[in-house]
Amino acid sequence: MTSPLIPVILCGGTGTRLWPLSRASYPKQYWPLGGNGEDTLLQQTQQRLEGIEALGAPLLICNDDHRFIVAEQMRQIGVEPGAILLEPMGRNTAPAVAVAALQATARGEDPLLLVLAADHVIREGAQFRAAIDAGRSAAEAGRLVTFGIVPTAPETGYGYIEAAEPLEAGALTPVPIARFVEKPDRATAEQFLESGRFTWNSGMFLFKASAMLSELERLAPEVVSCCRAALEQEVADLDFLRLEREAFAKCPNVAIDVAVMEQTQLGSVLPLSAGWSDVGSWSALWETADRDDDGNVLRGRVISEDSRNCYLRSEHRLVVGLGVENLVVVETDDAVLIADRSQAQNVKTVVKQLEADGSPEGKAHRKIYRPWGHYTGVVEDSRWQVKRISVKPGASLSLQMHHHRAEHWIVVKGTALVERDGESELIGENESTFIPLGCKHRLSNPGRIPVELIEVQSGAYLGEDDIVRFEDGYGRQSIMDPTLNVA
């Protein structure tokens, strides 16, 4: 009988090398990159598994700040997760794998776990599924299978895995691992390709939950003990499982490669050639995308004339490329990147500088996502600011008040239910209301289409920590908390 296969999708990471699109508040795995241009990398990660035998509901592990993004993107593709586990802070992949294995075996079951990163592109889904099927028998027998990407060039940006014997071209057969090798220089990488024994380390794994737990307990017992404590004290928060902060904070910050795979005698590598990319830079995204006859990748409102080998992307405004070559141009709501494709890897240094300067563009977009919808900063001054707010059907903001600001709301789409000091009224399109300072209020959407409104704030202090919550439907703190960013 075939064991159930549970996808474990790791949703951490900030993807700073894809700035200005990918930022800490909304990293690359939640953007539509690669594929059909409509589904996000996270959604593609789940969708490419369709058709696999005995596929179970996925376990998703993400940052607490991204929990509603993950839940919403799974809802959009009709997937009900087995659990969404919330890490209070990042602790690398070994704790994430340990948590997943402990969660999967909590009821006495022992499924196969397929560990995947949420931010990879795999263009040949059928070949990927065939590789998973080819690795199942080895995983059932207790081997810890990792998928090694067949190299297409002497890449110096990836770690490598050496197989214990030469790899047969095109064969989907797990081979024992001889060793892991850190990122090599170019001359060494060229030697690796010539040997026929090396693959790139993809960070994707297939194994029995019990087999990985056994090796973790033997090789990294502190990881298991901390994760077990964090799970035992977990808190159910709506559809999420929140790991206990203090216990998880004690967990060593270590990758599963270092904690287990580099030490175990159970490791096997299965060579994979399926159009894989970790989308580590804009140039990598250009290489994996479908290009036009001039070698260009065009996304959004873009006009290209006599331009070649460029990646041109617009999120809002029109972008025009005239007679340019080998450029990356990415336009967002508050920043524009223009770079030679050969320099695209250096974007991360710009992000570090922005963070050092305290620039908001380093971490967040003007458009901020919340469980009830999203808001976009339009314009601001010292004593007033304007936002555009969108509230999903059936959703509502918390019941709250502000000490230092008043708010004017103008509905431009849909119908809003507004509560003010215990009284309620419906506000339709082209109607407005005023929320005076100190008024206890709430905004809800009772309709079937999103409510869009313009909010004008005015007052002596406009910081988003000026929120006192009385009721909230999303498990957020009920009293003013400076760490919370919006209603």
Best CA proximity match to 332, nearest among 292, 374, 376: 376
Quick one: pLDDT at residue 479?
43
Inter-residue contact 432 to 410 (CB < 8 Å): yes
Q: Is the pLDDT of residue 206 over 90?
A: yes
Inter-residue contact 114 to 55 (CB < 8 Å): no
Q: Which pLDDT band, with edges at 50, 70 and 90, does 478 fall under? A: very low
Are 5-277 and 367-471 equal in CATH topology?
A: no
Torsion angle in degrees (nearest 10) through CA of 268, 115, 77, 62:
-160
Q: Which residues contact 65 (CB under 8 A, 6 or more apart)?
A: 25
Mean pLDDT for 214-221 is: 96
Q: What's the rounded Cα separation, in Å, for the pair 199 and 193? A: 8
- Given the DSSP bridges, would you call strands 302-305 and 319-322 parallel, antiparallel or unpaired? parallel
The tens digit of pLDDT for each residue in 416-438 reads: 999 999 999 999 999 999 999 99
Quick one: pLDDT at residue 464?
79
32-46, 220-234, 311-325, range with the lowest pLDDT = 32-46
Mean pLDDT for 301-310 is: 97
Q: Which pLDDT band, with edges at 50, 70 and 90, does 5 fall under? A: very high
Q: What's the rounded Cα separation, in Å, for the pair 379 and 93? A: 40
Largest Cα separation within the chain, whole Å, is 76
Inter-residue contact 42 to 30 (CB < 8 Å): yes
Whether the ω angle into residue 20 lies within 30 degrees of 0, i.e. cis, is yes
Quick one: pLDDT at residue 477?
56
Mean pLDDT for 62-78 is: 91
Q: Is the pLDDT of residue 84 over 80?
A: yes
Q: Is the pLDDT of residue 110 over 60?
A: yes
Mean pLDDT for 68-80 is: 93
Q: Which pLDDT band, with edges at 50, 70 and 90, does 483 fall under? A: very low
**Domain parsing of the chain, residue ranges:** 5-277, 282-346, 367-471
The tens digit of pLDDT for each residue in 228-280 reads: 999 988 787 777 899 999 999 999 999 999 999 999 999 999 999 999 999 88
- Given the DSSP bridges, would you call strands 423-427 and 416-420 parallel, antiparallel or unpaired? antiparallel
The tens digit of pLDDT for each residue in 118-136 reads: 999 999 999 999 999 999 9
Q: Which strands form 336-340's sheet, in the order they lie side by side?
A: 297-299, 311-314, 327-331, 336-340
- Rg of the Cα atoms in the chain: 24
Quick one: pLDDT at residue 475?
64
Mean pLDDT for 142-157 is: 93
Q: Which CATH superfamily is domain 367-471 in?
A: Jelly Rolls (2.60.120.10)
Quick one: pLDDT at residue 36?
64
For 391, 418, 427, 456, the CA distances from 410, given in Å and listed in that order, are 13, 12, 9, 8
Quick one: pLDDT at residue 343?
92
Q: What's the rounded Cα separation, in Å, for the pair 176 and 264? A: 11
Cβ neighbourhood burial of 178 (10 Å; 0-12, 13-18, 19+): middle
Q: What's the rounded Cα separation, in Å, for the pair 423 and 431? A: 17
Q: Which residues contact 32 (CB under 8 A, 6 or more apart)?
A: 38, 39, 40, 41
Best CA proximity match to 10, nearest among 107, 144, 120, 105: 120
Quick one: pLDDT at residue 225?
95
pTM of the model: 0.88
Give the distance from CA 479 to its chain's centroid: 29
Tell me the CATH architecture of domain 5-277: Alpha-Beta Complex (3.90)
The tens digit of pLDDT for each residue in 344-394 reads: 889 999 999 999 999 989 988 888 888 899 999 899 898 999 999 999 999
Report the chain's mean pLDDT, rounded to a whole number: 91
